[in-house]
């Protein structure tokens, strides 16, 4: 045990956390120092796709440095002088720009606004601030333009730039450690789908797990001013923390998840714009005290008015950390706030050995064919997403294994393709 402990310590000291764990800001609670990240990091795009002169598309990643962050630094040096709406009359024209030769595409997991573009890339565009988009197209040979694309309405916004240059990015992308995964972007039914056209070799990872204290979290959420009395009750496998009659935090002791409700402003009417919801939900995310080293914006649920965040490793989302695999921040128009999150998080990577070091997955196009052949309805199959499955290590309760797999959004829920094919 001593030898194992020393070996782990040496590994952790000599291997800095992966780039998603880069911290910029720290906030302090009464009991601990919590690492967080700035809003522009949380709302960064998660994918970088390159289309070459022949129309071949590849997803670009680098284990040692975030290529998306590198693009962020580059775009922040350009000056966005103006923005205008491009007249697009058909989905075909939209797809032509999306898949244009000699271009880079930065993909967000879901829509953001032009105001958030200003925040993320340190710009000051004054028009169309509430307009939504989910992709940034950067033509390589266009010296003064980039484009913001909105899938749902196939709308395009043209941003006029000053000082645009891709020279330094080309040097970064030519590095030997940049991995290119063959993909194809397909636009249909007002959605863009990323198809993995060839088998994909993915790394298996293991992390030490960190656990937030339920009582400390309860004090942070229920007793922010330090003047309230927090009571706790055990109820059928859960712990319920309350203060007064307006705030309640319920901990599922088996899953180690938290459901928090705040009714202190119940009855008040608030009209939050989409931009405001994105910004305010980030503030609430910080207040939760959840370690944010790996967390990124994942999407917005318009039905429940919830902003969704998810943990990522090397640009790929992690599922199964909670029932939904995510953190949800809900702010209703009637004044209620509801948060759902896990007390468990990834801490530091630990070595993986043997056969688990890498996994080769089939192409997503072949998986789609297998699912249809197995009887699943094509009309109910949504996005097929390459990601990681969170699972408890069989040898240690302190270690989480991240296994590469495809997740399929089928009939309103995320499922692994293997569970669907096996019928489990």
- Domain definitions of the chain by residue range: 40-198, 202-424
**Residue % of the chain over a pLDDT of 70:** 89
pLDDT at 246: 87
Helix orientation angle between 214-222 and 274-288, rounded to the nearest 10 degrees: 130
Mean of the per-residue pLDDT values for the chain?
88
Instruction: Give me the pLDDT at residue 229, please.
Output: 84
Q: Determine the Cα–Cα distance for residues 73 and 77; give it in Å rounded to an integer.
A: 7
Rounded to an integer, the average pLDDT of 125-153 is 96
Residue 324 pLDDT > 50: yes
Q: Determine the angle formed by the axes of helices 274-288 and 114-121, rounding to 10 degrees.
A: 50
- Given a contact cutoff of 8 angstroms between Cβ atoms, the answer to whether 349 and 337 are in contact is no
| 202, 195 Cβ separation under 8 angstroms | no
**Mean pLDDT across 369-374:** 96
Q: Which CATH superfamily is domain 202-424 in?
A: YycH protein, domain 2 (3.30.310.160)
Instruction: Give 354's pLDDT tier (boundaries 50, 70, 90).
Output: low
- Collapsed DSSP state (helix, strand, coil) of residue 252: strand
- Average of per-residue pLDDT across 287-305: 91
Please spell the DSSP secondary structure of 20-82, one letter per residue.
GG---EEEE-SS-EEEE--HHHHTS--EEEEE-TTS-EEEEEESSS-HHHHHHHHHHHSEEEE
Rounded Cα distance between 209 and 318, Å, is 14
| 108-123 per-position pLDDT tens digit | 999 999 999 999 999 9
Q: Which residues are bridge partners to 390 per DSSP?
A: 402
């Amino acid at each position: 045990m001593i030898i194992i402990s020393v070996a782990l310590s040496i590994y952790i000291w000599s291997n800095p956390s992966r780039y998603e764990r880069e911290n910029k800001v720290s906030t302090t609670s009464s009991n601990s120092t919590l690492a967080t990240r700035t809003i522009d990091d949380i709302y960064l795009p998660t994918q970088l796709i390159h289309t070459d002169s022949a129309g071949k598309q590849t997803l670009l990643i680098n284990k040692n440095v975030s290529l998306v962050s590198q693009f962020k630094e580059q775009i922040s040096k350009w000056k966005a002088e103006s923005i205008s709406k491009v007249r697009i009359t058909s989905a075909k024209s939209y797809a032509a720009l999306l898949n244009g030769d000699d271009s880079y595409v930065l993909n967000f997991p879901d829509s953001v606004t032009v105001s958030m573009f200003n925040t993320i890339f340190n710009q000051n565009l004054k028009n169309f601030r509430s307009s939504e988009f989910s992709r940034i197209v950067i033509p390589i040979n266009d010296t003064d333009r980039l484009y913001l694309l909105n899938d749902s309405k196939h709308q395009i916004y043209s941003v006029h730039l000053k000082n645009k240059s891709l020279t330094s990015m080309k040097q970064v992308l030519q590095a030997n450690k940049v991995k290119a995964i063959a993909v194809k972007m397909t636009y249909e039914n007002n959605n863009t789908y990323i198809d993995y056209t060839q088998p994909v070799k993915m790394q298996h990872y293991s992390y030490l797990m960190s656990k937030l204290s339920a009582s400390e979290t309860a004090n942070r959420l229920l007793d922010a001013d330090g003047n309230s009395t927090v009571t706790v009750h055990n109820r059928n496998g859960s712990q319920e923390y309350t203060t007064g009659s307006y705030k309640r935090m319920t901990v599922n002791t088996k899953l180690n998840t938290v459901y928090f409700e705040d009714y202190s402003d119940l009855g008040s009417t608030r009209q939050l714009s989409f931009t405001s919801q994105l910004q305010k939900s980030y503030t609430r995310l910080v207040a939760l005290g959840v370690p944010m080293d790996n967390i990124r914006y994942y999407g917005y649920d318009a039905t429940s008015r919830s902003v969704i965040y998810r943990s990522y490793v090397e640009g790929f989302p992690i599922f199964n950390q909670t029932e939904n695999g995510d953190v949800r921040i809900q702010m209703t128009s009637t004044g209620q706030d509801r948060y759902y999150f896990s007390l468990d998080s990834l801490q530091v990577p630990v070595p993986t050995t043997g056969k688990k070091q890498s996994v080769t997955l089939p192409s997503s196009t072949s998986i789609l064919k297998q699912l249809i052949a197995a009887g699943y309805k094509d009309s109910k199959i949504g996005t097929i997403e390459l990601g990681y499955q969170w699972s408890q290590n069989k040898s240690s309760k302190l270690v989480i294994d991240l296994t590469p797999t495809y997740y399929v959004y089928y009939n309103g829920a995320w499922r692994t393709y293997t569970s669907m094919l096996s019928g489990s």
